[in-house]
């Protein structure tokens, strides 16, 4: 058992793809036959990103255990197919919460509580926890080196590297090399500065991963090697890629996993062939599906966070996976649900599928409802996710069952609440209640829930199963207790119900080629090598649309 640690830090600027770099390292080590665990340290003070705006922070990824986490966990799970848990995600808010409750309990009686050692000890404990169960723990440090919030984390890894030794730890520093058109050269100075900053905090990076739009040449490598105190072979090219699934093989060809294994002294020429074979089988085989698929289709995502594409990252990845499964390129038409209806509908006339994603509050709700109506009446494949299901119920109640004031409690207290707070519902033996005044953080129906699927339905055929588990993140539910008759009048078929049979989970229409909506977030479970059945079927239906 190796039980080694790989720390991934970022320099120069944010959004360089540290999460994807960490995920790719994980995937490549798996291709080398090792087991890995992915962890992330997030320097913000929130307990989790659940209360942050998707506009600023991007999607909130939901793990199976219900942990609301940074979207990088989506990359980790998609690239490595590992199931991450709450024990893999740490924020400054959580660290302080732990330390402060210990202080109240009297665990530190007699001492003044300080960043070093109390905060850093807690961070170190988090990093090493469970390391013995895997060959490598890959730990990404969120933010950019130099951020005030990140200091205790860099200090914690500095201490850890001393404690566990260089032979058992490696620091991979991802930086950016801007390209100067005028002189046609990649500039190394920002990288030099960010490495100096890291060194000034006592951490010497071992590998520099250079994100850039042009391939780095030998001269750049030599320069960075000399000024950053890193072996020349450990200056690795991280060329921009047109699709994130091309990255693991690019990094492999640039020598990233080889240099990591070399650092740990586990480079084994005998197993190199096996590794190559696995990488070709997995990542290289995706290249055809990515670069030259035989079919194509266009799907609209009607949402309100569309200016921030990261807000729908798992969703767009699941659609791409659906494309892989159908040998198709799927173009996404981003439609702002808050635009005028005519504008929305004119965009929808150009697409072969309509997807209404998850979301919160009433902004854009009417535009989404109009989109659902358009997809239903024109027999365009429709997939509704979470809020998308709730709005489909509202649309069907209003326009098919004739209940014109049907709405969701999330938007108003006036009208027929076909979507409502879950009050005194039995869920897995626990009585659940939600209200407007309740706490907002971590109080939704979160994580894995079982769903029973009715035989003979389209959804049953798609899943090929009667029992599925999907991840959830929502506060409101379909009010079937009160409005069962109206739902029937609206021709809604609830093809999936919660395990105890009380809550609708999935709906479909029988007089439509593909009209499916789910209360869960199936996008979190889709993988490039195992596209989610609902997305595979949705993309297939979109490809098959004849007008």
| Active site members | 386, 521, 523
Q: How far is the CB of 440 from ligand GLN (least distance, A)?
A: 10
In the bound state with ligand GLN, the residue whose beta carbon lies nearer, of 410 and 470, is 410
Task: Choose between 419 and 542: whose C-beta lies nearer to ligand GLN.
Answer: 419
Taking the complex as a whole, how short is the minimal distance between the CB of residue 54 and ligand GLN, in angstroms? 10
Give the CB-side neighbour count of residue 174, counting CA atoms within 13 A. Answer: 30
* Shortest Cβ 521–ligand GLN spacing (Å): 7
> Would you give the DSSP letter of residue 86?
G
Distance in Å, CB of 394 to ligand GLN, minimum: 12
Q: Look up residue 185 and give its two tokens.
A: 């050269």
Examine residue 359 and tell whether it contacts ligand GLN (CB under 6 A).
yes
Enumerate residues 6+ apart whose C-beta is below 8 A from 412.
362
d(Cα 263, Cα 266) in Å, to the nearest integer? 8
Q: Does 522 bind ligand GLN (CB under 6 A)?
A: no
Extract the runs of DSSP E, i.e. beta strands, from 177-306.
179-180, 185-186, 207-212, 235-239, 295-303
**Closest CB to ligand GLN among residues 258, 434:** 434
Which lies closer to ligand GLN via its Cβ, residue 173 or residue 475?
475
Smallest distance from ligand GLN to CB 296, Å: 28
Sign of CA dihedral 472, 459, 399, 417: negative
For the CB of residue 149, give the shortest distance to ligand GLN in the complex, in Å: 28
Stretch that binds ligand GLN, among 41-49, 321-329, 340-348, 357-365 (CB under 6 A): 357-365
CB nearer to ligand GLN: pick between 96 and 360: 360
Does 386 help bind ligand GLN (rule: CB under 6 A)? yes
- Cβ neighbours for 220, distance < 8 A, ≥ 6 positions apart: 177, 186, 188, 210, 235
The encoded tokens of residue 330 equal: 């799927």
DSSP type of residue 527: B
Q: Which of 375, 244, 241 lies closest to 299, judged by CA? A: 375
In the bound state with ligand GLN, the residue whose beta carbon lies nearer, of 264 and 494, is 494
Under the criterion CB under 6 A, does residue 505 sit at the interface with ligand GLN? Answer: no
Site string for ligand GLN, 387-426 (x = CB under 6 A): x----------------------x----------------
Largest CA distance in the chain: 77
Q: Tell whether residue 360 is a contact of ligand GLN (CB under 6 A).
A: yes
DSSP codes of every residue in 365-386: HHHHHHHHHHHHHTT--EEEET
Taking CB under 6 A as the binding criterion, the range among 44-52, 217-225, 261-269, 352-360 that sits at the site for ligand GLN is: 352-360
Residue closest to 342 by CA, chosen among 367, 316, 306, 373: 367
Position among 54, 150, 205, 358 found at the interface with ligand GLN (CB under 6 A): 358
Peptide bond into 415 cis (omega under 30): no
Task: Give the contact letters, 454-483, x = binds to ligand GLN (CB under 6 A), - = no.
Answer: -------------------xxxx-------
Residue nearest to ligand GLN (CB): 358
Is 58 a residue that touches ligand GLN (CB under 6 A)? no
Q: How far is the CB of 308 from ligand GLN (least distance, A)?
A: 16
Angle (nearest 5°) at CA 198 between 196 and 202: 105
Kindly state the DSSP code that residue 13 receives in the 8-state scheme: S
Q: Are 303 and 312 in contact (CB under 8 A)?
A: yes
Residues that bind ligand GLN (CB under 6 A): 358-360, 386-387, 410, 473-476
């Amino acid at each position: 058992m190796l039980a080694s640690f790989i720390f991934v830090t970022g320099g120069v600027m944010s959004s360089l793809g540290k999460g994807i770099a960490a995920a790719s390292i994980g995937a490549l080590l798996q291709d080398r036959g090792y087991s890995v665990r992915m962890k992330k340290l997030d320097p913000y003070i929130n307990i989790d990103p659940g209360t942050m705006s998707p506009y600023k922070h991007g999607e909130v990824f939901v793990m199976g255990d219900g942990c609301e986490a940074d979207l990088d966990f989506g990359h980790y799970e998609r690239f490595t197919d590992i199931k991450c848990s709450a024990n893999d995600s740490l924020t400054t808010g959580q660290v302080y919460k732990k330390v402060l409750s210990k202080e109240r309990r009297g665990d530190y009686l007699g001492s003044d509580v300080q960043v070093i050692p109390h905060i850093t000890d807690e961070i170190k404990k988090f990093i090493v926890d469970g390391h013995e169960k895997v060959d490598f723990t890959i730990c990404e440090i969120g933010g950019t080196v130099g951020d005030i919030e990140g200091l205790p984390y860099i200090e914690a890894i500095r201490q850890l590297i001393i404690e566990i030794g260089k032979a058992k730890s490696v620091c991979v520093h991802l930086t950016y090399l801007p390209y100067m058109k005028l002189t046609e050269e990649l500039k190394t100075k920002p990288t030099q500065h960010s490495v100096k900053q890291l060194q000034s905090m006592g951490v010497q990076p071992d590998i520099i991963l250079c994100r850039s739009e042009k391939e780095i040449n030998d001269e750049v490598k030599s320069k960075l090697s000399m000024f950053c105190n890193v072996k020349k072979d450990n200056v690795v090219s991280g060329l921009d890629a047109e699709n994130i699934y091309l990255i693991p093989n690019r990094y492999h060809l640039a020598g990233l996993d080889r240099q990591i294994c070399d650092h740990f002294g586990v480079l084994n020429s005998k197993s190199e062939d096996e590794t190559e074979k696995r990488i070709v089988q997995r990542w290289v085989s995706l290249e055809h599906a990515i670069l030259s698929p035989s079919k194509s289709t266009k799907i609209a995502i009607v949402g309100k966070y569309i200016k921030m594409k990261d807000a729908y990252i798992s969703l767009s990845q699941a659609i791409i996976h659906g494309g892989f499964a159908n040998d198709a390129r799927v173009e996404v038409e981003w439609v702002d649900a808050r635009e005028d209806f005519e504008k929305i509908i004119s965009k929808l006339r150009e697409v072969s599928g309509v997807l209404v994603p998850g979301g919160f509050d009433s902004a854009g709700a009417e535009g989404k409802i109009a989109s659902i109506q358009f997809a239903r009446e024109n027999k365009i494949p429709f997939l509704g996710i979470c809020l998308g299901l709730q709005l489909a119920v509202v649309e069907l109640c209003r326009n098919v069952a004739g209940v014109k004031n049907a709405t969701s409690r999330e938007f108003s207290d006036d009208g027929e609440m076909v979507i409502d707070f879950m009050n005194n519902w039995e869920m897995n033996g626990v009585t659940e209640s939600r209200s407007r005044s309740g706490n907002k953080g971590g109080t939704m129906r979160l994580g894995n829930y079982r769903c029973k699927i009715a035989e003979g339905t389209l959804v049953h055929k798609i899943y090929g199963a009667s029992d599925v588990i999907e991840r959830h993140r929502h506060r409101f539910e379909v009010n079937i207790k009160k409005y069962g008759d109206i739902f029937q009048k609206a021709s809604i078929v609830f093809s999936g119900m919660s395990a105890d049979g009380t809550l609708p989970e999935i709906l479909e229409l029988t007089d439509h080629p593909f009209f499916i909506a789910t209360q869960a977030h199936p996008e979190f479970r889709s993988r490039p090598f195992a596209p989610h059945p609902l997305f595979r079927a949705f993309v297939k239906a979109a490809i098959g649309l004849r007008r």
